[in-house]
Structure formats: structure tokens, C-alpha cells
Chains A and B, each alone.
Chain A
Amino acid sequence: MTTNQQEVLLKVENLKMHFPIYRGVFQRQVGSVRAVDGISFEVYRGETLGLVGESGCGKSTTGRTILQLYKPTSGSVYFEGVDLAKLRREPLRRMRRKMQMIFQDPYASLNPRMTVEEIIGEPLQVHEVASPKEIKERVKELLSLVGLNPAFATRYPHEFSGGQRQRIGVARALALQPSFIVCDEPISALDVSIQAQVVNLLEDLQEKLNLTYLFIAHDLSMVRHISRRVAVMYLGIFVELADRNSLYQEPLHPYTQALLSAVPVPDPVIAAQRKRIILEGDVPSPVNPPSGCRFRTRCRLADKICAEAVPEFREVKPGHFVACHMVK
């Protein structure tokens, strides 16, 4: 895959997001949760970049920080060449039209007191891009686009099932015709048979509207299905980034290898033959990450150098990045 010739839509450089911890009477800062701790990557127009990792690894924070929902501690986020981290107020607000988000919980992310029309029309209203009459029309269009009956516009969220609510969330994200959407675990709260419906919808919309997705999930099989390239996060940093097939077929980082081997395969014959790498223990705290390589405390290959030096996130094969001392 010659990704180099494609247009870079989003470029993240050494992005850090640290949340301060305050203690005591005077609320002095005693430390910080290093949720995202220096990541750099690019997203090309029209692709889906999958982002996987265990809970607490910083994948959702990455998505939110890119959209400037959190103000990054340091680093840059270039969207169509403009550094979002430097923008304030009105210019940032205008950029926000181009980047939207779909949330994990379709129950918590829709206001129960607003009708579907108000929910989907709100971004249009806030950004003052359409008259009330146009908004009504646009909402109907959006509803049919996501496979819902336009007549549902006057209903309230509680009248819909989980899968339908997620469709409403998708319609809201599409209202301002964005080019980039962060999908933050959009299917994990849904039942298995409904997950496929939503994923198929996202794929159809991508094709139709030339959307770019950052797809955050912990379900590695689904990420493989939907993404063109996949990044693996561990404790605030990227440990591996490669196109889908090379990552899943030849994972280089020991963490990726363990993660992939832990995914259950729905086939008893293969499941019986597969060798699993069982990781010991839990993820360390992001307040005090281990020195050197952050994965070394659970790594079966860990050596002296891993405690001393931070492994560089380097390109070992074209398009295949990995941060590990043991990978030659």
C-alpha cells in the first residue's frame, strides 16, 4: 500500500494530555495522570484508522484531545494543515464543523427531553448554517440517510432501541457535513446482531460521503474488519501502527502479539489449536508509568535495556511502525 502519495487530512505530532491531580487543603498539584504521553501519527483522507487498546490506555482521550474537547498539554494537531491546538474561540468553532464525534453510549449521549429533530438539528442551529425550515428538511434527509423513517423526527429518544439511537447519533454527527469523524466505541454497547447493522451503516456512509474515521474500540476483530490501518495503544503511547493485514498477520510488538492471541475466535477447531500468550498482571498506573519501555513489566522479552531507554517509535518496514527494543 503506497500511503505516502495520499492526502494527509490529520497530522498529530507529539501530542500529550496530562490530567493534573490535586491534593490537600491548598489543592496543590501532586502529580498527573499521563493519559496520552507523546503520540505522533497521520490520518489520510478517506481511510479508517483503527485505535485499539485495553481500558485506561488513553484511546478515548486521544480522540477527544484531537477534537480539542480537552486542551492538549503539549503537541500539535494539524487538520487540513491548520494547528488546532493553537486556535481559540471563533476560528476553532468554525473548524469544529469539519470534525465530529460518535459516542459509545447511545443512552447517555442523547438528551431525553429533546425530540430527534431537535437533537439532529441542534448542530445546524448552533453553527447558524441553515434557516429553521431548511433544518427541518435536512433532518429528514439525514434520517433517511442513516436508515430511519423521516416520520420519526418528532419522537423522543426513549422510543428507540439501542441500535436506532446509535443511528440518531450518527445522523447528528453528519449534520454539518464533516470530513472527519471520531467514532469512540460506537458499537460496544450494542447487541451482537445490531453491531453488524451499525458497522455496515458506517461503511456505507464512508463510501457515499468520502468520510475519514478514527475508529476507537477494544474489539480487535471489529477493528480489523472496519479499518485500513490500525494503531495499538498501551499506557498512553502508540506501541505499533501498521496497515491492517500486516498488523494482524505479523504483529511485531510483544504487546500486540499477546493482545491478538487473547481474542477469542468463534471456531472450536481453531480455538483448540491456538497458542495463547497470557499476559501476567494488570496495566500499571498512568500516574507512575514504568521507566524505559512501559510494557516491560508484563513483557516476556524484557531485558536490561528496556528499563533504561525509552524505545523509539520507528518505521521498521514501509508503513509499519513499532516501539520496541527487541524488534530488529
Chain B
Amino acid sequence: MTEYLLDVQGIETHFRTPEGVVHAVNDVSFNLKEGETLGVVGESGCGKSVTMLSILRLIPSPPGQIVRGKALFMGQDLLQMSDTEIRHVRGAMISMIFQDPMTSLNPVMSIGKQMCEPLMLHLGMSKKDAEARAVQLLGMVGIPNPKERLKDYPHQYSGGMRQRVMIAMALSCNPKILIADEPTTALDVTIQAQIVELVKRLRDELGMAIIWITHDLGVVAGLAQRVMVMYGGYVIEEAPVKDLYAHPSHPYTVGLLGSLPRVDDLQHRRLFSIEGQPPVLYQTPQACPFAPRCKWAIERCWKENPTLESISDGHRVACWVNIHDKGARS
């Protein structure tokens, strides 16, 4: 039980909307070992962010509600903790960084003040110690002249710099887990490369576990050890990174990989496109949520929603069809 740093079991999150109850996260289970990097891939609305927010109990309620499930962090269920306990976990054990650093930073507070606050609050540091630590953290994430820049406000930093500040703040209390929710989506490729390299270096230095949420299968390939693909609130495939890219086994994963042009492609080929759009689920589906867009769908797919089954060591897939037998790309 305690071999996992984080062990999530059957999380289900619903949102009440005027159109009905949206089943945003459905029976999601996964785990994370110490120091491991897990990539979570999926399109917008697939439930990847809501899953992580649910674990940290950051879902606004109402309209959101975590209906069932467990999230064991070092053996303790995050979903059963008192508000004080979960606040301590969020501040000092599991940190999260978001896509848009500008909306995560307070525009009328200097960077230094924003960085010192959690240090004084969670670690009980004095103002002087906190400032020294803030300077050290900014230096660690590669911000030049950290001492002078503490006095600056968020608008005086560029997008890439702001994301570095966010990372520095997330790391300030030495978290066990860093959850990164599309941290590079708003950035240019050159800046994205800077941030990814930075996170890799910090991971190796500090030994923390990372959950990297993204829609970009490219970034995950170079960063994660394990990848989990989500669709319609379900985990539909999970595998070690090399295995997933070499033998994608869910039609959706195969489609996603086929729809990406590659910068190292020599020949012009027509992109594989998945027709239709991702679903919004208003009830527990009786069919596979991907069936309407799937070209391999068989009768069973319309009657029963497949569950995640293991097909090889560490590789789990939720699909009734063995698409490799049907001539999918190997």
C-alpha cells in the first residue's frame, strides 16, 4: 500500500450544469512512485485537469462534486482530510503550476512578497530568511540578478520568466510531487524548451515526482517515464513512454499520434484525422465513449464500455478490439 507515493483509486467527479450533470472524471485510477514522472495526455475537456484538481480538492463546490474515490498520499486519503490538513499538503507536499502564469500571480504584489508569503506561512521562516531563500530559488530557476528582481512586479517579467517564478514558488517548500498543468502551452517553442530542460534538471536534483498534464504528445515523449491518455473523463490507455509510442493500442491514441505532423517527416503524407468531436458525458455511458469516432468499432463497443485491461507489463488499454490484429500501424 505504501509503496506508492500517490495512489488514486476510482475517482469520480461530477459538475452540475443547467444542461444536466456532467460526468467529468469517471473511475480514474493511477499511481505515482517517488521520483517518477507521469504524463497525462488528452484534449480539452477530457478531464485531465479536473482529475488533478479533484485530488487536491480544488474543485469549486458547487457546482463540482467528488462523488467517490480515494486519493492516498503516503497512505493518507486526501479526500478525507480536514481543511487544515489538506492546506498543509497543498502548500508543502504537493505543488501545482498552471498554464497561464499571469493569472496565477497577483499583479499588485511584488514577486518577492508573493514568494516569501508561503515560506513564512508554511515553513515558519522569518522575513529575512524567507527573502534569502527566495533569492536562492529564483537563481535556481535561472533568473538573472535575482536579488534586484525580487522588487519587480509580475508585468515586468516576460511570459517565460513568469513561468520560472511559478516553478520557483511551487518548489519553495520542497514538495514531494509537482503537478504541472499545461505549463508550456502559452509559451513559444524556444521558451518551452528552456522550461522543460529546467524542470528535468530540477527533478534530477531534487528527486521530486512530477505529473505533467498536456495535450502535446511531443513534450511528454522527452520528459515522462509513463504516460496516461484520457478521453471523455476515462483513462483509456496507460503505458511506459516507449511502449506507448511504439505500440499505441487504443484507437484514439493511434489516431492522435497519426494526426501529428512531425518536424522530422521527409515525405508529405496526408494527416490521419479523427472525424467528429470529443464527447461531453451527461450520464454513465453504456457504450465506449470513443465508439462514435472509432473506425474499428464493433457491435460490443456500442453495448458495453470497456474497462482498462492489462495487455503487457505496465500497459493497460480500455478497448474491446485488438487493433493490432486489424492492421493498425505497428
Counting CB contacts under 8 A, is B216 at the interface?
Answer: yes
Bound form: Cα–Cα A203–B270 in Å: 9
Which residues between 155 and 211 of chain A lie within 8 Å of chain B, taking CB atoms?
A: 161, 163, 191-197, 199-200, 203
Q: How far is the CB of B256 from chain A (nearest CB, A)?
A: 6
Residue of B nearest to A282 (CB): B158
Report if A266-B245 is in contact (Cβ < 8 Å); known contacts: A224-B261, A276-B197: yes
Interface size class of B (residues with CB under 8 A): 35 or more
Q: Is the CB of B263 within 8 A of A260?
A: yes
Contact with B along A206-223 (1 / 0, CB 8 A): 000000000000101110
Q: How far is the CA of A266 from the CA of B229 in the complex (A)?
A: 14
Q: Which of B246-273 contact A (CB under 8 A)?
A: 246, 255-257, 259-266, 268, 270-273
From DSSP, what is the main secondary structure of chain A's interface residues? helix
Q: Which residues of A contact B221 (CB under 8 A)?
A: 264-268, 271
Question: Which residues of chain A (266-316) have a CB below 8 Å from chain B?
Answer: 266-272, 274, 276, 278-279, 282
In the complex, what residues of B have CB within 8 A of residue A276's CB? Answer: 193, 197
Question: Interface range on chain A: under 10, 10 to 19, 20 to 34, or 35 or more?
Answer: 35 or more
Nearest B-chain residue to A271, judged by Cβ: B222
A258 at interface by CB-CB < 8 Å = yes
From B160, B242, B261, B268, A222 is in contact (CB under 8 Å) with: B261
Contacts of B193 in A (CB 8 A): 261-262, 264, 276, 278-279
Residues of A within 8 A of B260 (CB): 192, 196, 221, 266
B53: Cβ under 8 A from any A Cβ: no
Asked if B217 is an interface residue, CB under 8 A from chain A, the answer is: yes
- The answer to whether A266 touches B191, judged by C-beta atoms less than 8 angstroms apart, is no
Q: How far apart sit A222 and B278, CA to CA, in the bound complex (Å)?
A: 22
Could you tell me if A193 and B189 are in contact, using CB atoms closer than 8 angstroms? no
Q: A71–B193 Cα gap in the complex (Å)?
A: 36
B56 contacts the other chain (Cβ, under 8 Å)? Answer: no
Q: Once bound together, how far apart are the Cα atoms of A270 and B241, in whole Å? A: 12
Tell me the complex Cα distance, A29–B178, Å: 48
- Which single member of B197, B259, B263 contacts A195 (CB below 8 Å)? B259
Q: Which residues of A contact B194 (CB under 8 A)?
A: 278-279
The answer to whether A272 and B222 touch across the interface, beta carbons within 8 angstroms, is yes
Does B192 interact with chain A (Cβ within 8 Å)? yes
Alpha-carbon separation in the docked complex, A163 to B278 (Å): 11
Residues of A within 8 A of B196 (CB): 264
In the complex, which residue of chain A has the Cβ closest to the Cβ of B255?
A193
Whether a CB of chain A sits under 8 angstroms from the CB of B287 is no
In the assembled complex, the CB of B140 is this many whole angstroms from the nearest CB of chain A, namely: 16
In the assembled complex, the Cα of A261 lies from the Cα of B190 at a distance in Å of: 9
Q: List 7 A-B contacts (CB under 8 A).
A: A193-B273, A196-B259, A259-B189, A266-B221, A267-B245, A269-B246, A282-B158
Which of B's residues lie within 8 Å of A, judged by CB? Answer: 43-44, 158, 160-161, 188-194, 196-197, 215-219, 221-222, 241-242, 245-246, 255-257, 259-266, 268, 270-275, 277-278
